[in-house]
A and B are shown apart, each in its own frame.
Chain A
Amino acid sequence: MNLLLPQLDQTGYSPGPNRVQSRIQQGTVLVFGLILCSLLLSGCGKRESKVDRATREGMLLIGNGGEPKALDPHLVTSVGDSAIMRAMFEGLVTYHPSNDATHAPGVAERWEANDKKTVWTFYLRKNAKWSNGDPVTAHDFVYSYHRILHPEMGAPYASMLYFLRNAKEYNTDKEGKVPFEDVGVKALDDYTLELTLPNPTPFLPDVLKHTTWLPVHKPTIEKYGGMTEHFTDWQKPGNSVSNGAFQVTKWRVGSYVRVEKNPYYWDKDNVKLNGVEFYAFENSFTEERAFRNGLIHKTYVVPPNLIPLYKEKKSPELRLEPYIGTYFYRFNCTNEVTGNVHLRRALSAAIDREQIVKYVTQAGEIPAYAFTPPTEGGYQPPRRVKFDPAEAKEHLKNAGYAKGSDVPAFSLFINTSESHTAVAIAILDMWKTHLGIDPKKVTIKNQEWKVYQVTIQDLKYDVARSGWIGDYLDPKTFLSLFTSDDTNNHTGWANDEYDRLFAESDNIGDEAKRFEKLEQLENVLLDELPITPIYWYTTKYLLNDDVRNWNPLLLDNHPFKAVELIAD
């Protein structure tokens, strides 16, 4: 029964007083009493919990969502995996511990751009080293960008580098007509890197902080297979060479990944932690129990039903912070059922987002009325998506189904998680109530994260739950997703007008005008609905008070080198 009823950890328990009945003879009572006393005494001496010990040793223990797909910055896509990459590798520019808009220098000491913001020059620090002692040079970055953009690599996130001149052409060219030399990246010398962009991009340093722009160590990659080979042994502890504050020392599949201080890191004197352990928890309830029993410093999420309890207790451990991300459902536009735009509109209009946020997720999320979350003083998306049962029925008729029960069977994919299941069940019931769709015809399919990602990529779904977290602070990180050639599109949706408007928006230097264009763009998206937004995220996690310098961040990308552990 272990699987059904996860056992409470021993640390939470001490034997309670037992009622000893008078019938038991005195001698027995004495023996019982002695045993009880010794048990109670051993329970009284406060045992050091795992977290206390870790704090003492400078090891940060954090829940990190699912099992990492890879420890290769060019292959990972999930938020949890990126966190490990952020600890292990360092890009040209890195995240500031308390301000999203500030750029902390990473491998690059300083940088400059021309007036049009199309040519950027980065001056690398001479003391940056790999974890085996090799110097980090501009050539490493050229090699890394070559690797992620290589058409044979098929990197899932290669489109993040499309900012570079000819990067898209090179990445999508299967015949090898475009040489890599045409791509806008050049090492002027060992410590100077020049990036050339076709469009003015004042926010480039924001973009460069992302996982995809991290460098990899060429000799290591080549030693364990070719440049474009996936999942080779190079990412294993012992083989892996990285340039960040930490290097991987242990990877226990299904349990945790441990990274420890990189002795060659240029700024190692300012790294406060000795290491970080990233734990894979797929069940948020198990994770919360682990936190409560002192097994981890920080959780990845908090189960929704416990949020009111923590709020009631006014627990300082509960953190609810704004987050730039959207929870949405993808529709597979290549199949017959969900390829029907009217049906998509009907399904979207029948979802009561207010109710989901209020009763199911409960962490102060905002019901989404568009795909891109609004930013204060920045981009404001159009208010297009709303709950309207009457309109939903109208769309259903247009779709060619007189009644909801005519809608053919389709599947709804989610990755294994209590909260995704809850949202899916709630939405299923809304479709039944407002459209009359037979719930027996919609199968909710649960898949483990790795399998689920492949299912989505291969378009083997009808409807699928997804989330998108902004990679940098600009609406482009959201809207670029649904251009026909984006590697994270995964809906099979392609719209010429959308692509055209997107390309046009790229050439506009003036912020206000660019946002206007992007609003037009988003209108096209929300009219066609290859996806339907559900809500805008908040980050919700539990944080042990030993952890210092962990500040609220809109992008939630915390640089681990600034984090400190101090016991009270």
Chain B
Amino acid sequence: MSLLPRHSETIEKGTSLGRDAWLRLKKNKLAMMSFWFIIFITAACVLFPAFPGFPDPNKTHLVLKSQGPFSSGVSAEGEKVFFLLGSDHLGHDIFSRIIHGGRVSLMVGLIATAVSLTIGLIYGAVAGFIGGRTDSVMMRIVDILYALPFFITVIILTTYFGNHLWLLFVCIGAVEWLTMARIVRAQVQSLSKQEFIEAARSLGLSKWRIIFRHLIPNTLGPVIVYTTLTVPAVMRLEAILSFLGLGVQPPNASWGSLIKEGADRMASDPYLLIFPAIVFGLTLFALNFLGDGLRDALDPKSSKD
């Protein structure tokens, strides 16, 4: 009789954290649907305009203005024009504008979120792990930045640097990272008192290695949830800024500006509001469901079921 446990014949294959998460995510139908929907929307926005014959979003057909969905007509230049989702008050093709607007909205959503995620994650983790005076100073800086009124900051920046789209990304990203930093800091503070961090310390790992290898991966659950909430918030901020004339400038469009234009005209042409709102709404839903699914997949402990 041996005291040693019996080894099985075949050695089980190890799985990585990522693969584990993917397997769990695959079981969540809603999250998977959302995932494919986001892929589809992104692909459509990136690829559709490349097709030959895709209508120019800024081409006006005054003769064919305010046409309903699935209508076609002959433009002033004698060309045949087909509007899949109708045309607006200047005869712009709404379908084309939604696709082109999606490029702006998605880009703002993704880039600004990425900016805020990177800064917030690193900043919060460093502050939370090092603690003491460094932490106090770093968090007071966050407090000060919090106190700056967002719109006034953006207005000052645009008067200095002019009205560029990249400035919009930077502005939004620079504001959104503050909350992220706070969340990560709180998470890291509680984690750094746990045994596995003690173990890592006693093994003599460097501070940076502990932060990047052990702390940040363990904060991913709440961070991912917050990120998926940030994307819609950012897209909404872009819409508000465009509305104030600080974001996307006419004749270009984003989903926010399309919805705003549609809302103004909903009495006479309701489809101008309905179509962009459906696309925008579905995208936001999908992002939220995907975020939920990812949280469950990455951090099964916090899962509700």
Q: Is the CB of A285 within 8 A of B264?
A: yes
Q: For B59, what are the chain A residues with a Cβ–Cβ distance below 8 Å?
A: 429
Taking the closest CB of chain B, its distance from the CB of A55, in whole angstroms, is 25
Contacts of B249 in A (CB 8 A): 443-446
Q: Which residues of B contact A305 (CB under 8 A)?
A: 66, 89, 265, 268-269
**Of A4, A360, A433, A447, which contacts B90 at CB under 8 A?**
A360
Q: Is A283 an interface residue (CB 8 A)?
A: yes
A4-B239, A305-B265, A305-B268 known; A422 vs B66 contact (CB < 8 Å): no
Q: Are A428 and B251 in contact (CB under 8 A)?
A: yes
In the complex the two chains form, is B63's CB within 8 Å of A439's CB? no
Complex: chain B residue closest to A359, CB-CB: B62
Given contacts A305-B265, A359-B65, contact A416 B245 (CB under 8 A): yes
A283→B256 contact, CB < 8 A: no
Q: How far is the CA of A426 from the CA of B90 in the complex (A)?
A: 7
Question: With A305-B89, A416-B245 in contact, do A424 and B60 touch (Cβ < 8 Å)?
Answer: no
Q: B250 near A444 (CB under 8 angstroms)?
A: yes
In the bound complex, residues from chain A placing their C-beta under 8 Å from that of B91 are 359
What residue in chain B is nearest A418 (Cβ atoms)?
Answer: B264
- B268 contacts A421, CB within 8 Å? no
| Whole-angstrom CA separation of A265 from B65 in the bound complex | 52
Q: How far is the CB of B279 from chain A (nearest CB, A)?
A: 14
CB-defined contacts of B77 to chain A, threshold 8 Å: 433
Judge whether A421 and B250 touch: CB under 8 Å.
yes
A360 / chain B contacts, CB cutoff of 8 Å: 62, 89-90
Among B89, B251, B259, B264, point to the contact of A283 (Cβ < 8 A): B264
Asked if A359 and B63 sit within 8 Å, CB to CB, the answer is yes
Known contacts A4-B259, A444-B250: A426-B60 contact under CB 8 Å: yes
B243 lies within 8 A of A4 (CB)? yes
Nearest CB on A from B164, distance (A): 11
Which residues of chain B from 265 to 294 have any CB-CB distance to chain A below 8 Å in the complex?
265, 267-269
Closest approach, in angstroms, between the C-beta of B162 and any C-beta of chain A?
Answer: 9
The residue in chain B whose Cβ has the minimal distance to the Cβ of A429 is B60
Smallest beta-carbon distance B231→chain A, Å: 16
With A5-B263, A305-B268, A416-B245 known as contacts, the answer to whether A439 contacts B58 (CB < 8 A) is yes
Given contacts A303-B264, A309-B268, contact A426 B62 (CB under 8 A): yes
Q: With a CB–CB cut-off of 8 A, which chain A residues contact B89?
A: 304-305, 360, 422
B224 within 8 A of A: no
Q: Which of under 10, 10 to 19, 20 to 34, or 35 or more describes the interface residues of B?
A: 20 to 34
1/0 contact trace for A1-44 toward B, CB 8 Å? 10111100000000000000000000000000000000000000
Asked if B236 is at the interface (CB within 8 A of a chain A CB), the reply is yes
Q: Tell me if B186 counts as interface (CB < 8 A to partner A).
A: no
CB A393 to nearest CB in B, in angstroms, measures 16
A88 to chain B, nearest CB (A): 31
Q: Smallest distance from the beta carbon of A181 to chain B beta carbons, Å?
A: 45
- Contact mask for chain B residues 245-259; partner A; CB cutoff 8 A; 1 contact, 0 none: 100011100001001
Judging by beta carbons under 8 Å apart, are A3 and B240 in contact?
yes
- Chain A interface residue count, Cβ-Cβ cutoff 8 angstroms: 34
Complex Cα–Cα for A425 and B58 (A): 8
Q: Shortest Cβ distance from A4 into chain B, in angstroms?
A: 5
Is A4 touching B263 in the complex (CB atoms < 8 A)? yes
CB nearest to A286 among chain B residues: B264
What's the Cα separation between A403 and B259 when bound, in Å? 36
Does B260 interact with chain A (Cβ within 8 Å)?
yes
Whole-angstrom distance from the CB of A408 to the nearest CB of chain B? Answer: 16
Q: Shortest Cβ distance from A67 into chain B, in angstroms?
A: 15
> How far in angstroms is the closest Cβ of chain A from B119?
27
The B-contacting residues of A in range 411-458, CB under 8 angstroms, are 416, 418, 421-422, 424-426, 428-429, 433, 439, 443-447
**Within 8 Å CB of A188, what residues of B?**
none
Which residues in window 59-89 of B have CB below 8 A to A?
59-60, 62-63, 65-66, 76-77, 89
Query: Complex: how many Å from CA A560 to CA B58?
Result: 44
Chain B residues with CB under 8 A of A447: 245
Write the nearest CB–CB distance from A497 to chain B, whole angstroms: 37
- The answer to whether B250 and A425 touch across the interface, beta carbons within 8 angstroms, is yes
A418 to B260, CA, bound (A): 11
Q: Are A4 and B267 neighbours in the complex by a CB distance under 8 Å? A: no
> Is A355 engaged at the interface, CB distance under 8 Å to the other chain?
yes
Residues of A with C-beta under 8 A to B269 = 305
Q: Cβ of B63: which chain A residues have Cβ within 8 Å of it?
A: 355, 359
Cβ of B238 to closest chain A Cβ, rounded Å: 11
Could you tell me the distance between the alpha carbons of A359 and B61 in the complex, rounded to whole angstroms?
10
Please name all residues of chain B whose beta carbon is closer than 8 Å to the beta carbon of A443 when the two chains form the complex: 163, 249
Bound-complex Cα distance A359 to B89 (A): 8
Can you list 30 residue pairs at the A/B interface with Cβ under 8 Å? A1-B236, A4-B240, A4-B256, A4-B259, A6-B263, A285-B263, A285-B265, A304-B89, A305-B268, A305-B269, A306-B268, A308-B268, A309-B267, A355-B62, A359-B62, A359-B90, A360-B62, A360-B90, A422-B89, A425-B90, A425-B250, A426-B62, A429-B90, A429-B251, A433-B77, A439-B58, A443-B163, A443-B249, A445-B163, A446-B250
Given A355-B62, A428-B251: 8 more A-B contacts, CB < 8 Å: A304-B89, A305-B89, A306-B267, A359-B91, A360-B62, A422-B90, A426-B62, A444-B249
Closest 10 CB pairs of A and B: A446-B245, A359-B62, A285-B264, A429-B60, A425-B251, A355-B62, A305-B268, A5-B263, A444-B250, A421-B250
